[in-house]
Amino acid sequence: MRISVIGCGYLGAVHATAMAKLGHEVVGIDVDERKIEALSAGRAPFFEPGLDELLTEATASGRLRFSTSMADASGATLHFIAVGTPQVAGGYAADLTYVDSAVAALVPWLREGDVVVGKSTVPVGTAERLADVLAADAPGSILAWNPEFLREGFAVEDTISPDRLVYGLPDDADASATAKAALDEAYAVAVGQGTPVVTADYATAELVKTAANAFLATKISFINAMAEIAEATGADVTRLADAIGYDARIGRRFLNAGVGFGGGCLPKDIRAFTARAEELGRGESVAFLKEVDAINLRRRQRVVDLVLDQLGGSAHRRTVAVLGLAFKPDSDDVRDSPALDVAVRLRGLGADVRATDPEAIANARARHPQLDYVDATTDALDGAEVTVIVTEWKQYRGLDPVALRERVASPVVIDARNCLDADAWRAAGWTVVGLGRP
**Residue numbers annotated as active site:** 265
Q: How many whole angstroms separate alpha carbon 51 and alpha carbon 70?
A: 24
Q: How many whole angstroms separate alpha carbon 253 and alpha carbon 219?
A: 9
Closest separation between CB of residue 137 and ligand UDX, Å?
A: 30
**Nearer Cβ to ligand UDX (276/328):** 328
Q: What is the DSSP letter of 410?
A: S
Q: How many whole angstroms separate alpha carbon 318 and alpha carbon 321?
A: 10
213 binds ligand UDX (CB under 6 A): yes
Q: CA-CA distances (angstroms) from residue 218 to 41, 77, 296?
A: 40, 39, 9
Q: How many whole angstroms separate alpha carbon 266 and alpha carbon 292?
A: 11
Contacting range for ligand UDX; rule: CB under 6 A; set: 179-187, 262-270, 310-318, 345-353 = 262-270
Of 150, 207, 342, 371, which lies in the binding site for ligand UDX, with binding defined by CB under 6 A?
A: 150
Within 288-317, which residues bind ligand UDX (CB under 6 A)? none
Q: Who's near 302: CB < 8 A, 6+ residues apart?
A: 228, 259, 435
**Nearer Cβ to ligand UDX (73/340):** 340
Closest separation between CB of residue 405 and ligand UDX, Å?
A: 27
E-only strand ranges, 31-126: 64-67, 78-81, 115-118
Burial of 420 (0-12, 13-18, 19+ CB in 10 A): buried
CB neighbours (10 Å) of residue 282?
11
Contacting range for ligand UDX; rule: CB under 6 A; set: 37-45, 147-155, 380-388, 430-438 = 147-155
Judge contact between 189 and 170, C-beta under 8 A: no
Contact code string over 323-362 relative to ligand UDX, x by CB under 6 A: ----xx----------------------------------
Of 7, 9, 123, 262, which lies in the binding site for ligand UDX, with binding defined by CB under 6 A?
A: 262
**Nearer Cβ to ligand UDX (59/296):** 296
Contacting range for ligand UDX; rule: CB under 6 A; set: 58-66, 85-93, 145-153, 279-287 = 145-153
Q: How many whole angstroms separate alpha carbon 132 and alpha carbon 252?
A: 43
**Nearer Cβ to ligand UDX (173/248):** 248
**Nearer Cβ to ligand UDX (212/428):** 212
Of 2, 151, 298, 407, which lies in the binding site for ligand UDX, with binding defined by CB under 6 A?
A: 151
Q: CA-CA distances (angstroms) from residue 326 to 29, 154, 213, 392, 395?
A: 27, 15, 19, 10, 13
- Number of residues in contact with ligand UDX, rule: CB under 6 A? 20
Contacting range for ligand UDX; rule: CB under 6 A; set: 51-59, 125-133, 257-265, 396-404 = 257-265
Q: How many whole angstroms separate alpha carbon 294 and alpha carbon 289?
A: 8
Contacting range for ligand UDX; rule: CB under 6 A; set: 93-101, 253-261, 310-318, 429-437 = 253-261
Of 256, 274, 387, 418, which lies in the binding site for ligand UDX, with binding defined by CB under 6 A?
A: 256
Q: How many whole angstroms separate alpha carbon 122 and alpha carbon 272?
A: 9
**Nearer Cβ to ligand UDX (71/294):** 294
258 binds ligand UDX (CB under 6 A): yes
**Nearer Cβ to ligand UDX (134/225):** 225
Closest separation between CB of residue 149 and ligand UDX, Å?
A: 4
What three-state secondary structure class fits 425?
helix
Of 103, 266, 307, 321, which lies in the binding site for ligand UDX, with binding defined by CB under 6 A?
A: 266
Reported residue count of the chain is: 438
Closest separation between CB of residue 75 and ligand UDX, Å?
A: 30
Identity of the amino acid at 305: D
**Of 201, 4, 256, which Cα lies nearest the Cα of 114?**
4
Identity of the amino acid at 141: S
First CA to last CA across the chain, in angstroms?
57
Identity of the amino acid at 316: H
What three-state secondary structure class fits 64?
strand
265 binds ligand UDX (CB under 6 A): yes
Contacting range for ligand UDX; rule: CB under 6 A; set: 191-199, 212-220, 305-313, 345-353 = 212-220
Of 260, 358, 411, 434, which lies in the binding site for ligand UDX, with binding defined by CB under 6 A?
A: 260
Q: How many whole angstroms separate alpha carbon 139 and alpha carbon 113?
A: 9
Closest separation between CB of residue 110 and ligand UDX, Å?
A: 27
**Nearer Cβ to ligand UDX (178/218):** 218
Residues that bind ligand UDX (CB under 6 A): 148-152, 213, 216, 220, 254-256, 258, 260-263, 265-266, 327-328
